[in-house]
Chains A and B, each alone.
Chain A
Amino acid sequence: QSALTQPASVSGSPGQSITISCTGTSSDVGGYNYVSWYQQHPGKAPKLIIYDVSDRPSGVSHRFSGSKSGNTASLTISGLQAEDEADYYCSSYTSSSALKVFGGGTKLTVL
């Protein structure tokens, strides 16, 4: 059982926007602005796409954005493209251990 809760799957049509939630507690997501998101295509390594809740690494599309409200962080992908179809994982700093907790992952299907 993951410490962070994500929906198992989400879907959207090309051009639409989707949001993936990541729910934790006041000891992790809610207590710190240190949520990160990773994208993983089938058979490939994960790739960092969001860090510190809403910052994007160099080279990551502006279509990816992050936010947080209370104990829930969110990843929004706007202008969905076929290449966005992948698994997405969140992670959060916790008061007990840094960078060691992942969400269960969300499979994004582009219809």
Chain B
Amino acid sequence: EVQLVESGGGLQQSGGSLRLSCAASGFTFSSYAMSWVRQAPGKGLEWVSSISSIGGSTDYADSVKGRFTISKDKSKNTLYLQMKSLRPEDTAVYYCAKCSSAWLLDPSYFDYWGQGTLVTVSS
């Protein structure tokens, strides 16, 4: 059974940093791309970042480019999102999602999602 468990969310002041983690199990972590998707309170889904299966390729939404860094530790089956220079508009539930393909530019979809972790950025 595929499981994705996020952690690391919390309250942070504007300009601060947080690192989110996503512990993955039930599938071969090194064979699939992974992503972070966020959802601001009362709003829709917004893709944040993706990393390829072996971690060689990454991509970011313009809204977080230069501030967020995605990475994966294959030895720990864990996905990370390092968030710096946080802004109030980064307040959201952050979901870890497994992609159905290995490569970022291949057609794909999010076949499994974690339960999410809430990040709140105060001004």
Contacts and interface: CB of A to CB of B under 8 A. Distances in A.
B44 A89 contact: yes
Contact of B47 (A38, A45, A102, A103): A102
Contact of B108 (A40, A47, A93, A103): A93
Per CB-CB distance, the 5 closest pairs between chain A and chain B, nearest first, are A36-B109, A34-B107, A105-B44, A45-B113, A100-B47
Interface of B: 35, 37, 44-47, 50, 59, 61, 95, 99-101, 104-116
Contacts, number: 69
Interface of A: 2, 32, 34, 36, 38, 40, 44-48, 51-52, 57, 87, 89, 91, 93, 97-105
A100 B111 contact: no
A48 B109 contact: yes
A102 B104 CA distance: 16
